[in-house]
Amino acid sequence: MFIQKNFTLKTIMNFAGFHLIWLIAWAVLVTLLHEFTHTEWLHIPWLPLSIIATAVAFYIGFKNNSAYDRLWEARKIWGAIVNSSRMWGSNVKNYVTNQFNDATPVSDQELKAIHQNLLYRHIAWLYTLRSQLLIPAPWEHISQSKHIRQQTERRRKRFGIGLFDDGLIEDQLSALLGNQEMDAVINYQNTATQLIDRQGQVLRELRAKNLIDDFRHMELQKILNDFYTQQGQCERIKKFPFPRQYGGVSVIFVGVFIFLLPFGLVSEFEKIGAYGAWLSVPFTALISWIYLVMELVGDYSENPFEGMGNDIPMLALCRTIEIDLREMLGETELPPAIEAKNGVLM
């Protein structure tokens, strides 16, 4: 997530500045062709070009709105995960007690260990879910052609997960679950799903020991069901791409417009005077670049779990939840909150 109020010129140029090179080259080529051939059939009237420009602008607007909806929905889901996680911590701490266990009450130390086990496993679920959501999908930029993949890797290093220490799965699971449970869950195809299932198994055992009653058992299980719902919502966004018939056609439309634009502008600017046609070069490059950047903004916003700067700040949210839950357990040695780097919070 980009946190600065406005992008600097340097940031914008890092994102899409290199496209100006070929846009200017294309505009110069068409102008040279116009100046040295004087071929009238190369001139395109401005009216059909303006219609194309309007249609492309509407189409990009639709695509960007849809991409933003995916991004914002992902943020709302993680907001729900934050809220449910806090409810889970509070309810575990206050529901799992000796209140209904008059026959064989357990010690306060044992109760604290049970609370810690349930909350630590939930923290493990958070980091596991995040890591699973960051696995590249076939339609994401990191999975494309060699050139796009290299470009994406550079952007990840400057404005993505490359800025942050991402050694989370093995180390975190071992510390939170213990080696035995970690070895049992790490090889599942969906480790996050199995961690929630293990939470349910522990609740069943606690009910058998009368450390919770039926009502509290159902309330805690309901929160686990909410986690399943939220995980499924994240997986839906991750595993179902923005429909490619919309995303792919948008790129083609922008390309067609950029191809035709200089043929219309050069004839218009020629009316200014002898060298007026050359004024079409900067205007062609600028207009084309604006349309291209609008396309790229939507293209990089449609995948909110891609490991790029436009992502949902899952790492920061996981750490926030972890700190909250550890404080509920009375711990004082807390991990530091995740700070933004290069204007990006992951």
pLDDT digits (tens, 9 = 90+) for 165-186: 554 556 677 788 877 777 788 8
pLDDT at 303 over 70: yes
Q: What is the mean pLDDT of the chain?
A: 84
**Range with lowest mean pLDDT among 26-40, 67-81, 137-151, 182-196:** 137-151
Q: How far is CA 42 from the centre of its chain?
A: 44
162 or 278, which is more confident: 278
Give the model's pLDDT for residue 202: 92
The mean per-residue pLDDT over the stretch 30-46 comes to: 76
Could you report the per-residue pLDDT of 51-106, keeping only the tens digit for each?
Answer: 998 999 999 888 889 888 989 999 999 999 999 999 999 999 999 888 887 777 87
Query: What's the CA gap between 44 and 195, in Å, rounded?
Result: 63
Could you report the per-residue pLDDT of 210-267, keeping only the tens digit for each?
Answer: 888 999 999 999 999 999 999 999 999 988 888 877 778 888 999 899 998 888 888 7
Model confidence at 116, pLDDT cuts 50, 70, 90, reads: very high
pLDDT at 193 over 90: yes
91 or 187, which is more confident: 91
Give the model's pLDDT for residue 137: 80
Three-state SS string over the chain comes to CECCCCCCHHHHHHHHCCHHHHHHHHHHHHHHHHHHHCCHHHCCCHHHHHHHHHHHHHHHHHHHHHHHHHHHHHHHHHHHHHHHHHHHHHHHHHHCCCCCCCCCCCCHHHHHHHHHHHHHHHHHHHHHHHHHHCCCCCCCHHHCCHHHHHHHHHHHHHHCHHHCCCCCHHHHHHHHHCHHHHHHHCCCCCHHHHHHHHHHHHHHHHHHCCCCCHHHHHHHHHHHHHHHHHHHHHHHHHHCCCCHHHHHHHHHHHHHHHHHHHHHHHHHHHCCCCCHHHHHHHHHHHHHHHHHHHHHHHHHHCCCCCCCCCCCCHHHHHHHHHHHHHHHCCCCCCCCCCCCECCECC
